[in-house]
Structure 1
Amino acid sequence: MSIPPPPGPQQPQGPYQPPQTGPPQYPQYPQQYPQQYPQGPYGQQPPYPSPYQPWGQGYSPYTVPAPVNGLAIASLVLGLLCCLPGVGLVLGLVALSQIRKRGERGTAMAVTGSVLSGIGLALWVLLLATGGAAGFWEGVKEGANDRSTLSLSTGDCFDTPGHALDDDLVTDVTHVGCDGGHDGEVFGTYDLKGTDYPGDDAVGDSADQRCYVLEETYAFDVWAVPDNVAVYYFTPSEDSWAAGDRSVVCAFGSATEGGRLTSSYHEDADSYAPEQVAYLKAAHVLNAALDTAPDSDYIEDDLPGNKAWAGRVATALGEQSAMLRSYEWTADTKQPVLALAADLDKARAEWGKAAKAPDADTFYAHYDKGGKLIDPHRTVTVRKALGLTTVPPAYEEGGGDSGSGGSGSGMQV
């Protein structure tokens, strides 16, 4: 096989090119410019035209940051607050997955939220396994109950530290059964109204009046409560009032220092015979009206209020008399009951005149006459005929006094 010789200077280039043994040779092209530019005044050349165009107005040299993943934020919040740890953990894991797919920010928040939520979830599992959650919830409930006065309800029997029913000293009680020895028995509760603390005296006056009304709803015949049993009440302090406490607790307790109660004094109408119930229900009507006396120390301090009270008593006396007359009494009880009803009619007339009195002196005159006609001792004959207790409670001896001209709950019949 022959190899053609390299082309000479007179030989034309053929299609075959021998391999080059040295560095590649590139053709040289003369620099040619399409035109000459005139010289400047000082011999400077004007600038050559640029092949590039300047940036347009729509270009911004700053990049827009990626958005923060919302689930990452939620996971971090739940992790920091230690609430719903399971939810915070799930949200954190979902957020990490979304961040990788979408190129969003928030990895650190998602990781932190997941870690904190995981710790919280582990603690909850530990509490449930050891019973700590139940103890925690009981503590929460006890804290909430501490907002009310000693956390007592009607019918509760309790002991106090040192066995002393002193409102200034009692700060805690222990619930006990009513069949054995106990310091107190709650017979009623009620809530005070208002936003501002009314003061110790006003709170005490309210309890002194309302507790004797509630006593009748717990012990159907208050005369049946022994003389060695007294009425106590626990009221909110100024500090507990600020914390939301409005409850007043009325309770039976021993009237002797260091004494204790031995049984419950709760009785309803089912504990009495029909004739006894008929008499006691009529008596309750008058007692409820008597217990609405105004808080004034003297009649003249609030003559209009006392006149309105006298009007309520007169109305109750009329209702009580009508109830006694309408019942079919037995032969042994009819005569004393009708005699009592006649006294009640006379008393109603005097209280009615007191309600219309033009001045305090006139009010006092009719009030004294009406008060004597409903003296508790006038009911002893009827009570004896009905088989009820005939000894008035100690606070009713002498007519009683609740700060309203010698009236108040002391005239219960």
Structure 2
Amino acid sequence: MNAVIIAVLIMLALSLLRINVVIALVTGALIGGVVGGLGLATTIDTFTSGLGGNATVALSYALLGAFAVALSKTGLPDALVNLAVKLVGKNGETKKKTFSKVLLLIVILAISIMSQNVIPVHIAFIPILIPPLLKVLNELEIDRRLTATVITFGLTAPYILLPVGFGAIFHDILQTNVEESGLQVALSDIPVAMLLPVSGMLVGLLIAIFFSYKNSRKYEQKEVAGKEDVQYSRNSITFAIIAVITSLTVQVLLTEVVGVQGMIYGSLAGILVLYLSRTMKYSETDVILSNGMRMMAFIGFVMIAASGFAQVLRETGHIESLVTTSANWIGGNQLVGALAMLLVGLLITMGIGSSFSTIPIIAAIFVPLCIQLGFSPMATLAIVGAAAALGDAGSPSSDSTLGPTSGLNADGQHNHIWDTCVPTFLHYNIPLIVFGCIAALVL
């Protein structure tokens, strides 16, 4: 039995049984490594050595959480919530409830999309914006599964389709690995190739909005942990805005100009602005920053554990054998070939939790296979790109699902697996497979 399949299935089964995702990842990696022939000692050593792979990401999220809590003390989130309440009306009283729901969801979707390109901060906006809005979401009785689905669409669809921000990174990785695997393609071809798969995600979003989660869902009005009413002033709001702009500027300059990961120093720059402006009291600094880091610690630990999990899967060598075995099943049937490659990509990305990391794993074998089956270069791009993107929405260890959960579960009423991962898996991965197959056959 293939070790990758066993490890991923164990991880997913434990997660669905509401076992902590970190424990599920560690257990899946341990069993997968032993089944893959590494032996107990080598598996543990491989898992441990792989933990550092996402250490930078984990530290980034910890500092983002600290910055988010520090910003909450300035009153900026409270001001945003008050503005939202004025727009939609408390309890939806001043305007029709349906219009209020649509308006709020459009705002959340727009910010999610912009976090990937216009202001490339990824999930950094979630702990700042979503927890203060939970009261409004509750009063409008918006199903949080819908909100999670909306946010995840905004976090994933833009980078898959658009060659800007995080999309520029995804498209560059895709082009580079496809070319290294023997097929010359242009960057300008990728958005065209990915248009149909992303259209499938859009269909999934519309289904979630108009069918799956259209009904109201009641939640208790609970205080968000560590959240209290904050008295804000024009001065505190001004410095909060300056801190946000400074943080974003540093992130963009370091990431886009210097070419290094700028999330850590962007967060640090924002914290320093609040600290030096005395908007954040010196006596409260340690408590505020510690609370913020604690808020995002779950994501950090999951990402670290996922890195070790991925390292074990790679070391077994069973990823390559899984792809090779799938190729033997295909024969010369293009439809079966496209479907098999997409399903293998789904399995790998669900385990690793990163579409960016999946591309190098699958491209080396998928590209020659696509050429052998007679797929066009555009169809090959669609297959490899969609196969890598599959699982990013729905994976328990993906930041595209961990991010929404971190905000929506601030009051303890949103389950990561059943309220984020399952809804996003159903509404995005299934359409991606269907539309990915269509793209493979028509491009």
TM-score, normalized by length of structure 1? 0.22
Higher helix share: 2
Higher strand share: 1
Q: Greater relative contact order (Cα 8 A, min sep 6): structure 1 or 2?
A: 2
